[in-house]
Structure 1
């Protein structure tokens, strides 16, 4: 029997790792430039249209803070500003933001310490949440002398087998406590009224259950195998299908062609069935939850693993620098946790990659 989990707080130590290589440990974010994130657009800009896209570089600010200043200085309504994702404060990040093109003449007056407008372009539609292909990360790990070879070995395993697609601590707020209030929202016990805050908090509960489901798969050697009842996703086309014969389909998973998905519960996401459904119900029951508590949510499916693109690692005097690209909605902390084997950013409370509304 698996022990009942009583805490709704995020805890890396409760989540199984994929690799058993030694951790490098080390220090992250000693300086903002140690953690760089480049947002990769989902589509090319047309060069014409009623929306002005701003390519921003920011240091020391959350995306929300920059958007508030943009609105205040240009006179734009908050609802007319578009972003594809949310980026961390403690990093140097680049991302696109859209505003109505009629405000273009006011842009030269915009000024904010730590923020630069790199370029502008017109496009036909407002930028929407999730309108990004992914993010390119370049991360320096300090205070880990001589650890580059160990990190390279672990990185090679992640490139070959994929990365556990855990929601990182950024999804769970300061001290990882968002899910506690999120559960109160789902049960009708919260006094919070802001609908955006309520949605974000309830995503923490969805994310907590997903993380436990994924951890159980890792614990039981099911990371790159499939179960009867799994809803598997094809990595090349994005097609999702029901696994009826796991013995026939698992070789495709072992080759990295398909992966299992987990449920972000809600009215439009049906729970898994058969053996996979039993595992999913086990994850739910450890938190005393049932699918019905998520009836107010839309729901979605999420891949249990993702694959790195362009992975590189360079040794440094006091550690190493690692670079990689992840698809949207995936967290760099899941990679860094495998490399370092520490509670990476466990005390964070701000979004890193910006898929905050996934599963709404």
Structure 2
């Protein structure tokens, strides 16, 4: 699923994840455990483990039901990630955990509440691009632009499953095919379908160079908020978008909710028209329409160059993204993976 870039596209190549240590993710929590309560919050470093598999292990070793374990977000398996989990242990002492290879307990603190999905507000990333090939000065200019302007807020390829399988199966289901047998698959398939529709609308806005500018009839979203308001109701909307205070949005289709209007609405309807059957399927099962910002701010962006063996060069990057955003979306603006350069 090739998507248009906003800053000239990648002119450099490199290996994005030669090892898990080259892709590190850290949750930025805005809630800290208080030190007392029925819930034990654990910060865990994991490598080669899915988030859900860690939750199952914690439940087993603590002798509690899986539903007694909470976490804020899903993290990559083939990476080094640090994230928080909680266990509901009313009247119980802290368990003794036997950490298998790939897991390390960093700290454990009590809290009065369970850790729910979406509790953390941002993720920090430290990435290494090995075997870098390209013009360093040009890449640094792209990074400086990204630091100022952000990037299009595409959903990353991992949202669609291996080989886009979740997208394919979800589309077939909504067009009258076989429904998923498991509840978890239902969510994955629906998410993949809606994410693809969002990406298609955003791609058109990137082509029109209005992904980070107001389009008449836009629905805007303040930075750090899920609220929406009509751009036409704010005489300073254009200036506020340029300043990064608010962002344009595009639809995650479903049962119609608050709608855009004018040229923005016309653009969205034209791009989504070929997917009418899929959108009808979303509406028929009661999925409600939502909106997502079209611009992704990239905060605290830093980079450096490291010499590797035999004269190879490594690019090291660090930045912070809000939850729901994809580091691979940032990297797609500047690096073309070596595996994609042949042919």
Q: Which residue of 2 aligns with 1:339?
A: 334
Matches within 5 A, 1:79-90: 79-90=67-78
Deviation at 1:224, TM superposition (A): 1.8
Q: Deviations over 1:9-66 (max 9, x none)?
A: xx1x2x1101116522100111111110001113122222211111000011111221
Q: CA, structure 1 residues 106+254, in 2 after alignment: closer, same or farther (shift >3 Å)?
A: closer
Q: Which runs of 5+ in 1 are unaligned?
A: 1-10, 346-360
Residue 110 in 1 paired to residue 105 in 2? no
Residue 48 in 1 paired to residue 43 in 2? no
Q: Which residue of 1 aligns with 2:194?
A: 206
Deviation at 1:254, TM superposition (A): 2.0
Q: Which residue of 2 aligns with 1:316?
A: 306
Matches within 5 A, 1:28-43: 28-43=16-31
Higher strand share: 2
Q: Which moved more, 1:223-232 or 1:237-246?
A: 237-246
State the distance in 2 between where 1:332 and 1:231 align: 25
State the distance in 2 between where 1:88 and 1:178 align: 17
State the distance in 2 between where 1:17 and 1:119 align: 40
Q: Which runs of 5+ in 2 are unaligned?
A: 308-312
State the distance in 2 between where 1:213 and 1:344 align: 28
State the distance in 1 between where 2:46 and 2:135 align: 30
Deviation at 1:288, TM superposition (A): 4.4
Q: Given that residues 16 and 337 in structure 2 are in contact (C-alpha distance below 8 angstroms), is that contact kept between their aligned partners in structure 1?
A: no
Q: Given that residues 212 and 294 in structure 2 are in contact (C-alpha distance below 8 angstroms), is that contact kept between their aligned partners in structure 1?
A: no
State the distance in 1 between where 2:209 and 2:15 align: 30
State the distance in 2 between where 1:189 and 1:343 align: 37
Matches within 5 A, 1:1-360: 11=1, 13=2, 15-20=3-8, 22-102=10-90, 105=93, 107-145=95-133, 147-235=135-223, 239-244=227-232, 249-267=237-255, 269-289=257-277, 291-295=279-283, 296-317=286-307, 318-342=313-337
Q: Deviations over 1:210-247 (max 9, x none)?
A: 00111100101112211222111122665421122798
Q: SS of 1:301's equivalent?
A: strand
State the distance in 2 between where 1:175 and 1:202 align: 16
Q: Given that residues 148 and 319 in structure 1 are in contact (C-alpha distance below 8 angstroms), is that contact kept between their aligned partners in structure 2?
A: no
Q: Which moved more, 1:187-196 or 1:294-303?
A: 187-196
Deviation at 1:106, TM superposition (A): 6.0
Q: Given that residues 147 and 320 in structure 1 are in contact (C-alpha distance below 8 angstroms), is that contact kept between their aligned partners in structure 2?
A: no
Deviation at 1:325, TM superposition (A): 0.2
Q: Which moved more, 1:261-270 or 1:196-205?
A: 261-270
Deviation at 1:278, TM superposition (A): 1.3
Q: Given that residues 337 and 344 in structure 1 are in contact (C-alpha distance below 8 angstroms), is that contact kept between their aligned partners in structure 2?
A: no
Q: Given that residues 250 and 292 in structure 2 are in contact (C-alpha distance below 8 angstroms), is that contact kept between their aligned partners in structure 1?
A: yes
Matched residues, number: 333
Deviation at 1:153, TM superposition (A): 1.4
Q: SS of 2:131's equivalent?
A: coil
Q: SS of 1:316's equivalent?
A: strand
Q: SS of 1:132's equivalent?
A: coil
> CA RMSD, aligned part only?
2.3
The alignment's TM-score, normalised by the length of structure 1, stands at 0.86
Q: Deviations over 1:140-198 (max 9, x none)?
A: 00011565433321111111111211000110000112112112333452242212210
Deviation at 1:299, TM superposition (A): 3.3
Q: Which moved more, 1:61-70 or 1:286-295?
A: 286-295
State the distance in 1 between where 2:339 and 2:92 align: 40
Q: CA, structure 1 residues 343+226, in 2 after alignment: closer, same or farther (shift >3 Å)?
A: farther
Q: CA, structure 1 residues 111+237, in 2 after alignment: closer, same or farther (shift >3 Å)?
A: closer
